[in-house]
Structure 1
Amino acid sequence: MDTTQFNEIMPETDERVICIRVDKPISGEGYKTQFLPLVQKMAADHGEIRMVLLFEKFLGWEEEAAMADLASTLFLARHLKKLAIVNLPEKMVQYVGMRQAALKTDLRIFNTDQFQDALAWARI
């Protein structure tokens, strides 16, 4: 599998926080083969998920990824404790607001230069 087509699971990811760099379209295959297994393992191991999303470039979602994200709402609602978003794209603001209402998670938005702050907050 060529993972260069997927968004990066960043090296800052550890057993407590998942860090993802978004600079490619969000693909269905990447969502199902990389993202979901990672969050499922974190939830099983720790009972919660903490995540930092760093948007460098937002190029949209493949339909399959959007459907997988929607299907995972109940799972994430039970386990997502903290979500830090760095450099939230304007076209994602409304989507994030709707997801946050459904997930009822602790959400915080950070500016482009605040990745380290976002990571520190997610780890608390």
Structure 2
Amino acid sequence: MIDILPESQGNIIGIRASEQLTDEDYQTILIPRLKAIIHEFAKARVLFLMDQDFQGWELDAMWDDAKFGATHRHDFEKFAVVGGPLWVEWGAKLGALFMKTQLRTFSNDQLQEAWAWIKS
């Protein structure tokens, strides 16, 4: 499940991921919101927070993520990954190699630091 965090404003979007992310999460929540930000501001800044119960992505959601990231690889200014298992951190770092973005990873107890970085 994806929730948009209330701190989101302007070209900054905070996303809370819990349980398992689905194709519906991407198609109805995340992709439309990111497209609107990119259309209005040209570049998006994303804070991706994984709850303790985060279980990863369904296969279709993984495909949505990869396809959108590849299509918009120049449209992300900063990307903060907060919490989650180590494999997600490594996956994000690998994905960032193909995108024109600054990427930083933070532990769950560094959430405020992540917000400060994404806003700077």
TM-score w.r.t. the length of structure 1 is 0.88
Partner of 2:36: 41
When the two structures are aligned, how many residues end up with a matched partner? 119
Task: String of CA shifts for 1:48-106, please: whole Å, max 9, x gaps.
Answer: 00010111132121111111112112333120110011114112133112211111310
Q: Do 2:11 and 2:45's aligned partners in 1 also have CA atoms closer than 8 Å?
A: yes
- Given the alignment of the two structures, is residue 24 of structure 1 paired with residue 3 of structure 2, yes or no? no
Partner of 2:50: 55
Partner of 2:89: 93
- Given the alignment of the two structures, is residue 114 of structure 1 paired with residue 110 of structure 2, yes or no? yes
Indicate the percent of aligned positions where both proteins have the same amino acid: 28
CA distance, structure 2, for counterparts of residue 70 and residue 121 of structure 1: 24
Q: Do 2:44 and 2:78's aligned partners in 1 also have CA atoms closer than 8 Å?
A: yes
Amino acid at match of 2:2: N
Q: Structure 1 stretches (4+) deviating beyond 2 angstroms?
A: 73-76
CA distance, structure 2, for counterparts of residue 75 and residue 81 of structure 1: 15
Q: Do 2:81 and 2:89's aligned partners in 1 also have CA atoms closer than 8 Å?
A: no
Partner of 2:99: 103
Q: Which has the higher strand share?
A: 2
Partner of 1:73: 69
Q: Do 2:82 and 2:107's aligned partners in 1 also have CA atoms closer than 8 Å?
A: yes
Gaps of 5+ in 2: none
